[in-house]
Amino acid sequence: MTAAAKHLSVTSPTQPTGENALEVTIVLPCYNEEDHVLDEIKRITTAMDASGYTYELLVIDDKSTDGTLAVLEAALPTFPHMRLMPFRTNGGSGTARRIGTREAFGRIVVWTDADMTYPNERIPEFVRYLHENAGADQVVGARTSEEGTHKILRVPAKWVIRKVAEKLAATKIPDLNSGLRAFRRDVSLPYLRLLPPGFSCVTTITMSFLSNQHPVDYLPIQYAKRSGTSKFHFTKDAYRYILQVLRMVMYFNPIKVLMPIALTLLGLSFVKGVIDVIRYNFGITTNAVLLFISGLLIFTLALLADLIVRSRGET
C-alpha cells in the first residue's frame, strides 16, 4: 500500500490514456467550506464545460470537521467531471496539492482555493495561456489587491518577502504566493516532494520552477474577500514563507545565499586588518582574525554546497 493510499480514500473513474488523456486537472483542496464549496464547484465546472477542454475537478476534503464531505459526496452524481479524495487525516493544503498533482490525470494542473477569493471562472484562460505559449511552464494569477486578514501587517510583510525572493531568484515576481496557478504536470513532478504541508507550498512551487529555469509568467487577477474563516496565521505563516524561500534557493542555488555573506566577511576582515596594521603597528586583532576565519569557512561551505547541488543530478 502506498503512502497516498494510507492517507486517503478515492472516488474516481478509470484513468484515461492515449488520445483520451485529459487536458486539465483542477486540484481543489477543501477544509471546512460547507457553506460555499458547491458554489465554487458550479463556477469552475460551468467555465470548464464552456471552454471545450477535457478536464477533471479533483476535490480533496482535508478531513473537514463540518459538513463539507457530506456536501461533496451528495454533489458527485450532479458533476460527472468531479473526482473526490477524502483524506483520512488532516494533512494541510500543501499535502492536498502535492498528492492531487501526483494523482492528476490531466497534462496541465491548476491549483486554486474553494473560498470564493480567486476568479475561478478564468481558469480556462490560464490553461489557454499555456497552450498558446509553449515557452512558459507555469502561469500564476498575480493579485492586484490584498483582501486577506491582518491586511495592515500582511501587505508590508509580503512585500519584503517578495523582494527577498526576487533578489535570490534574480527575476521579478509580481505575486509569490498566489493560490491560483496552472502548470505543466510533467515539469512539476520532480519538485512535488519538496512541497511543505502548509500554505507555503505555493511559494515552493514558484521558487522551484524559477530556480531551475522553468519560465513562470503572470496574469493579473482580482482577489475577493474570502467566504468562511481564514486558516492563515500571520506570524507563523509569514515566518514559514520567508524560511521556504531561503530553503528553496539553498536547495537549488546555495552559492547565491552563502557567497555574498562570505565575501562580505572577508572584505570586512581585510579592512579591519588594514586598520589594525596602521593603528597597532602591524598588529592584527582577534576580531579581524575571527572575521577572516568566518568568511573563509562560509566561502568553503558555499563551494561545497554548490558542488553537492551540481552532483545531485536532479535539476
Q: What are the Cα distances from residue 68, in Å, to 49, 59, 94, 126, 235?
A: 24, 11, 19, 27, 28
Task: Specify the DSSP class assigned to residue 138.
Answer: E
- Residue 210 parent element (H or E): helix 201-211
Largest CA distance in the chain: 87
**What interhelical angle do 151-169 and 234-252 show, nearest 10?**
0
**Burial class of residue 10 in the structure, from the number of CB atoms within 10 Å of its CB (0-12 exposed, 13-18 middle, 19+ buried):** middle
Q: What are the mean pLDDT values of the chain's consecutive 10-residue runs (315 residues total)?
A: 49 58 95 94 97 97 95 96 96 94 97 94 98 97 73 69 80 92 97 84 90 94 75 61 74 86 95 91 89 95 87 61
Q: How many CB atoms lie within 10 A of CB 214?
A: 16
Please give the model's pTM, rounded to 2 decimal places.
Answer: 0.79
Q: What are the Cα distances from residue 118, in Å, to 102, 224, 300?
A: 23, 7, 46
Q: How many helices (H) and strands (E) does the chain have?
A: 11, 7
Q: Report the pLDDT value the prediction gives residue 232, as an integer from 0 to 100.
A: 54
Q: Report the pLDDT value the prediction gives residue 154, as an integer from 0 to 100.
A: 61
Q: Report the pLDDT value the prediction gives residue 5, as an integer from 0 to 100.
A: 43
Q: Report the pLDDT value the prediction gives residue 132, as an integer from 0 to 100.
A: 97
Residue with cell 474570502: 226
Q: Report the pLDDT value the prediction gives residue 16, as an integer from 0 to 100.
A: 62
Q: Report the pLDDT value the prediction gives residue 175, as an integer from 0 to 100.
A: 92
Residue 125's Cα: distance from chain center in Å?
Answer: 20
